[in-house]
Structure 1
Amino acid sequence: MKLSAALIQSTFLQTRKPLLQLLKHRLGCTHTAEDVLQEAYLRAIEQGSIVEIRNLSAYLFRIAHNLVIDYGRQVSVSVLARHEPLEEELVCPKPLPDRTAEASQEVDLLTQFIAELPPQCRRIFLLYRVEHLSHAEIAEQLGISPRTVEKQIGKALKILRDRMRTS
Structure 2
Amino acid sequence: MIEVEVKAKISSFEEIEQKLDEIGATKTKKEFQEDIYFNSPVVDFAQTDEALRIRTTKENDNTNIFITYKGPKIDSASKTRKEIEMGIEDSVKCADIFEEIGFKKVRTIRKNRQYYEYENFEISLDDIEGLDPYMEIEVALEDGQDYSEAQNEIFELFEKLGITDGFERTSYLELLENLYK
Q: If the length of structure 1 is used for normalisation, what is the TM-score?
A: 0.24
Higher strand proportion: 2
Q: If the length of structure 2 is used for normalisation, what is the TM-score?
A: 0.22
Larger radius of gyration: 1
Flag the structure with more relative contact order, 1 or 2, with Cα contacts below 8 A and sequence separation at least 6: 2
